[in-house]
Structure 1
Amino acid sequence: MKFVAFSDTHDSIDAINDLISEIKNEKVDFFVHAGDVISPFALRRFSEIEKLYIAFGNNDGDRSKLTEIALEMGWVSGEVVYAEGIAVYHGTNPGLLKILEKKYDIVVTGHTHEARIVRDGSKLVINPGESCGYLTGKRSYAIYEDGVVSIVEF
């Protein structure tokens, strides 16, 4: 299995455009956005991506419109999204995150804006960092392929 994970795009159209340029030619099974797209106009920028799973973040605004766009595009969205055997959650509730970590071998989360990979036996938690670069000054995403995770700055 191979996927690209990103998070915290925060309406930064320049960052989203750069991210899409970076990832659109990746040969992956799917893409995940671990929250804080923010607004419908930003979500529409991902239209070049066919298979996208989107977890809502704490700053996402009009969730009904975000859901409508996701449905139009054939994407999956929600508070917690289950994507081909993994869980995707923005990560604002530490108790829920711990439950997901126990149930799923791979959990993708966001919220902290800090890229992080945590392994505990067969369990893996991936935070791809922030794609917008607002807090850390670094734009990043993660690529997972058959157990190997890389954080990529762009």
Structure 2
Amino acid sequence: MKFIAFSDTHDSIAAIDDLISEIKNEKVDFFVHAGDVISPFALKRFSEIEKLYIAFGNNDGDRNKLTEIALGMGWVAGEVVFAEDIAVYHGTNPDLLKILEKKCNIVVTGHTHEARVVRDGSTLVINPGESCGYLTGKRSYAIYEDGEVNIMEF
């Protein structure tokens, strides 16, 4: 299985466009966005991506409109979304995050803007960092393939 994870795009159209240019030709099973798209106009920028799972973040605005766009594109969106045995959750509630880490083999999270990959027993937690680059000055995403994770800067 191969997927690309990203998070915290925060309405940065330039960063979203650069991200899509980086990843659109990757041969993957699906993509995940771990929250903080923010607005409908930013979400629409991902229209080139066919199979996308989107977890809402703490800064996402009109969730009804975001959901409407996601459904119209054939994507999945919600507070916590599941893609196979992967939970995608923004990470704002540490207790919920701990529960997901106990129940799922892979958890993709965001929120902290810090890229990290943690293996704890049979669980893999991936935070792809921030795609917007606002807090860390680094724009990143993660590529997962058959148990290996690479954090990529762009």
Q: What is the aligned partner in structure 2 of residue 19 from structure 1?
A: 19
Equivalents in 1 of 2:23, 2:85: separation in Å? 22
Aligned positions, number = 154
Q: What is the aligned partner in structure 2 of residue 46 from structure 1?
A: 46
Per-residue CA shift, 1:18-69, capped at 9, x if unaligned? 0000000000000000000000000000000000000000000000000000
Equivalents in 2 of 1:98, 1:5: separation in Å? 19
For the pair 1:121 / 2:121, whether they are aligned, the reply is yes
AA in 1 matched with 2:83: A
Aligned-pair CA distance for 1:120: 1.1
For the pair 1:150 / 2:132, whether they are aligned, the reply is no
AA in 1 matched with 2:55: A
Aligned-pair CA distance for 1:84: 1.5
Q: What is the aligned partner in structure 1 of residue 84 from structure 2?
A: 84
**Structure-2-length-normalised TM-score:** 0.99
AA in 2 matched with 1:96: L
Q: How does 1:20-35 map to 2 (within 5 A)?
A: 20-35=20-35
Equivalents in 1 of 2:84, 2:73: separation in Å? 18
SS of corresponding position for 2:47: helix
AA in 1 matched with 2:25: N
Equivalents in 2 of 1:131, 1:30: separation in Å? 17
Aligned-pair CA distance for 1:2: 0.3
Q: What is the aligned partner in structure 2 of residue 110 from structure 1?
A: 110
In the alignment, structure 1 segments of 5+ residues that lack a partner are none
Q: What RMSD over aligned residues (CA atoms) do the two structures have, in Å?
A: 0.3
Equivalents in 1 of 2:44, 2:83: separation in Å? 20
Q: What is the aligned partner in structure 2 of residue 132 from structure 1?
A: 132
Q: What is the aligned partner in structure 2 of residue 97 from structure 1?
A: 97
**Structure-1-length-normalised TM-score:** 0.99
Q: What is the aligned partner in structure 2 of residue 5 from structure 1?
A: 5
Q: What is the aligned partner in structure 1 of residue 69 from structure 2?
A: 69
SS of corresponding position for 1:26: coil
AA in 2 matched with 1:74: G
